[in-house]
């Protein structure tokens, strides 16, 4: 019988990998989370742990969660290994959140009695991310090793970035690592091609923040943050250019407004905290700032606005949001009007 108890793992990949090597594979896993790069890396490690002599067609099965039925899953889990000591069944994208009635009963019969020689893995991402409030998810978590592959941050992420650069013959200092996360986000799968591009485009053996600023792709959220930086510097043409870039990237006006509103609220929080004499730790906690580079950018921009100006900017974002959702006005025109009003009423 599979082990009982909700034993959700706090995610730290190095500990997870070490435990797999030392203790071997469990019988049941529920793998999910935004950090797909590490999730797939763990699936590879788990596959090698189950089948150290290599994958064979008799003991390894990968099932499509959109088409699999419970009988097919039961047959796979209960099949005896042939050319290896264990079997491995990986189910990708099964809609656990909508598993009910007869399917739920069949699933319970399977997961509560996974054989000693078998490993069953549910890989659920995106729309299939498990909702812990639902009965089927609670059932899986009762028996499964539940691992949320969360985005990495801080020292662990920077160490990984340095290793990726080092493999390409480059040394990246801390400021460069922070600048890369600020520009391109923290998802490792998206950072890999950026690291390769920056390494190829940087002369010498050291990558610095200026190299990242020059070469890295800037995700929509960062472009929205750039927009407020331009506004703080009274560079209204630059702010309009950032807006144009976001539109050309295919971002929906409401999403652009959401990112801009989030940044404006963070600037207001920083300005208020600074005026009240709060320390950096308090500001970082309130704003979710994760590295020095982002903190310096945010605090520098906030100091260029007045508190009343940022309060008005928050109000303008709310008014624009309401107009987008309730009026027939063109959403892009509303964004342009918002920038113009920022320039007049907030700076």
Q: Name the residue ranges covered by the structural domains of the chain.
A: 13-148, 154-215, 220-345
CB distance 72 to 105 below 8 Å: no
Those residues with Cβ within 8 angstroms of residue 22's Cβ, 6 or more apart along the chain or in another chain = none
pLDDT digits (tens, 9 = 90+) for 305-325: 999 999 999 999 999 999 999
Q: Which residues of the chain have pLDDT under 50?
A: 1, 5-7, 9
pLDDT value for 217: 94
Is the entire prediction scored with pTM above 0.95?
Answer: no
Residue labelled with tokens 């596959």: 47
> Comparing 154-215 with 220-345, is the CATH topology the same?
no
CB distance 77 to 115 below 8 Å: yes
pLDDT value for 5: 47
Task: Report whether CATH 3.40.50.300 matches the domain 13-148.
Answer: yes
Instruction: Supply the mean pLDDT for the chain.
Output: 91
Give CA separation, 125 vs 52, 112, 129, in Å.
27, 23, 5
Top-tier CATH class for 154-215: mainly alpha
Residue labelled with tokens 């000693």: 116
Q: Which two tokens stand for residue 216?
A: 């890295």
Top-tier CATH class for 220-345: mainly alpha
Q: Give the DSSP H/E element, type plus range, for residue 310.
A: helix 307-326
């Amino acid at each position: 019988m599979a082990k009982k108890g909700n034993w959700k793992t706090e995610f730290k990949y190095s500990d997870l990998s070490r435990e797999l090597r030392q203790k071997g594979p469990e019988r049941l896993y529920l793998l999910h989370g935004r950090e797909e790069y590490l999730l797939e890396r763990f699936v590879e490690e788990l596959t090698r742990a189950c089948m150290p002599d290599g994958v064979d067609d008799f003991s390894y099965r990968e099932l499509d969660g959109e088409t699999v039925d419970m009988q097919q899953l039961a047959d796979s889990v209960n099949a005896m290994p042939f050319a290896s000591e264990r079997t491995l069944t990986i189910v990708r994208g099964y809609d656990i959140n909508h598993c009910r009635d007869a399917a739920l009963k069949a699933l319970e019969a399977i997961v509560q009695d996974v054989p000693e020689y078998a490993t069953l893995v549910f890989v659920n991402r995106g729309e299939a991310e498990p909702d812990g409030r639902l009965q089927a998810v609670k059932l899986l978590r009762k028996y499964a090793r539940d691992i949320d592959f969360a985005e990495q941050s801080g020292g662990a992420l920077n160490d990984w970035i340095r290793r990726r650069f080092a493999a390409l013959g480059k040394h990246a200092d801390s400021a460069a690592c922070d600048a890369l996360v600020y520009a391109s986000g923290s998802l490792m799968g998206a950072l890999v091609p950026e690291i390769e591009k920056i390494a190829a485009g940087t002369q010498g053996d050291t990558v610095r923040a200026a190299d990242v600023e020059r070469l890295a792709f800037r995700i929509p959220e960062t472009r929205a943050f750039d927009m407020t930086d331009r506004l703080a510097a009274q560079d209204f043409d630059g702010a309009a250019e950032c807006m144009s870039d976001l539109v050309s990237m295919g971002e929906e006006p409401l999403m652009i407004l959401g990112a801009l509103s989030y940044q404006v609220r963070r600037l207001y929080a920083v300005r208020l905290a600074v005026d009240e004499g709060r320390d950096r730790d308090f500001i970082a906690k309130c704003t979710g700032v994760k590295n020095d580079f982002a903190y310096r950018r945010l605090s520098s921009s906030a100091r260029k606005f007045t508190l009343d100006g940022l309060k008005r900017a928050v109000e303008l974002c709310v008014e624009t949001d309401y107009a987008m959702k309730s009026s027939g006005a063109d959403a892009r025109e509303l964004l342009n009007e918002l920038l113009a009003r920022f320039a007049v009423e907030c700076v």
